[in-house]
Amino acid sequence: MLRVEIAGIKMKNPLMLASGILDLTKESMERFVDAGAVVTKSVGREERKGYKNPVVYEMEYGILNAIGLANPGVEEYVRELEEVGVENVIGSVFGGNAEEFGYVARKISPYVKAIEMNMSCPHAKRVGAEYPEDEIPDAVKEVKKAGKPVFVKIGMENILNRAERAIEGGADAVVAINTVKAMAIDIETGHPILGNRVGGYSGKGIKPIGIRCVYEISSNYEIPVIGVGGITRAEDVIEYMMAGARAVQIGAGVYYRDVSIFSEIAKELEEWLEKHGYTSIKDVIGIAIKK
């Protein structure tokens, strides 16, 4: 009932762990065996320390963070991917140019089912959402040489243009969206709360933005879309899939419902589908586009 397939990758359910959520070590990733797939922490060519504290701040309707793509570098990180007890591991990579993307992709490729290109972090400048649009096709082509399906993760900014550039390069799927560029200020001191001042906002507050972006991409292109942003319950998954998503990623939802969110939402999805007369989750995909 819940089985889906994207770019030849068969998943027992459409629920994926989003990059950056308890996915830095082999042990932490293995806590998510109930997910259809697990996306790794975004890794680059070299070690990256990230931003100074504070890097996370809980808000009324979501979470603000600016980690700064901290990671140990791909050479060190692949050791965590050896013999990971997870059915589908998707490797998230970033780079400042096509050559860097290609290098990291080749290093991580033997350990993963697909590669997700992070071109959407809202506070990482050129290695994130500011990656030049006209350079996206060449970067995707370079990553494709690693021999695995390529997912391109884009943010809400210029979403159709960036999706088109990803498709131009041969992307196998588009992931939308990442956190939304935002900030918070301590009104007692007048100082920005995050160490980096500006960060990415995730959680329930961004779901309508994510839905809109998935709907627009799915309405304009045939490429599979993976929806991300504000998913905490089965109804959120259904909404994304009705907007055209073939699968979804859950990040902040883990904070609110713990690691059990995947098994619980899978059960809730089956109950919802049965109640509404569907025999497969695939039957709801794109319903809102056809209306």
Q: How confident is the model at residue 85 (pLDDT cuts 50, 70, 90)?
A: very high
**Is residue 74 predicted with pLDDT exceeding 90?**
yes
Average predicted confidence (pLDDT) for the chain:
96
Q: Which of 16, 39, 90, 121 is catalytic?
A: 121
Average pLDDT over residues 137-146: 98
Q: How far apart are CA 28 and CA 47, in angstroms?
A: 20
Average pLDDT over residues 40-55: 94
**203 and 230 Cβ atoms separated by less than 8 Å:** yes
**Is residue 208 predicted with pLDDT exceeding 90?**
yes
* Total length of the chain: 291
121 catalytic, yes or no? yes
Q: How far apart are CA 69 and CA 198, in angstroms?
A: 14
Q: How far apart are CA 22 and CA 9, in angstroms?
A: 22
* pLDDT number for residue 124: 84
Q: Is 189 exposed, middle or buried (0-12, 13-18, 19+ CB in 10 A)?
A: exposed
* pLDDT number for residue 129: 87
**Is residue 211 predicted with pLDDT exceeding 80?**
yes
Q: How far apart are CA 241 and CA 55, in angstroms?
A: 32
Q: How confident is the model at residue 212 (pLDDT cuts 50, 70, 90)?
A: very high
Based on its alpha-carbon atoms, the radius of gyration of the chain, rounded to whole angstroms, reads 18
Q: How far apart are CA 123 and CA 28, in angstroms?
A: 25
Strand partners, 43: 93
* pLDDT number for residue 117: 98
**Is residue 125 predicted with pLDDT exceeding 90?**
no
* pLDDT number for residue 115: 98
- Each residue of 90-100: pLDDT tens digit? 999 999 999 99
Average pLDDT over residues 238-258: 97
Q: How far apart are CA 192 and CA 77, in angstroms?
A: 32
29 residue type, one letter: M
Backbone angles phi, psi at 69, to 5 degrees: 55, 40
Average pLDDT over residues 244-272: 97
- Each residue of 189-206: pLDDT tens digit? 999 999 999 999 999 999
* pLDDT number for residue 162: 97
Average pLDDT over residues 42-71: 93
* pLDDT number for residue 171: 98
Task: Find, among 219, 202, 243, 235, the residue nearest to 227 by Cα.
Answer: 243
Domains of the chain: 4-290 (3.20.20.70)
Intra-chain end-to-end CA distance of the chain, in Å:
23
* pLDDT number for residue 30: 96
Q: How confident is the model at residue 291 (pLDDT cuts 50, 70, 90)?
A: confident
Q: How confident is the model at residue 242 (pLDDT cuts 50, 70, 90)?
A: very high
**Is residue 287 predicted with pLDDT exceeding 90?**
yes
Average pLDDT over residues 148-153: 98
Of the two residues 285 and 51, the one the predictor is more confident about is: 285
Q: The pTM is what?
A: 0.96
Q: How confident is the model at residue 9 (pLDDT cuts 50, 70, 90)?
A: very high
**Is residue 135 predicted with pLDDT exceeding 80?**
yes
Q: How far apart are CA 124 and CA 192, in angstroms?
A: 17
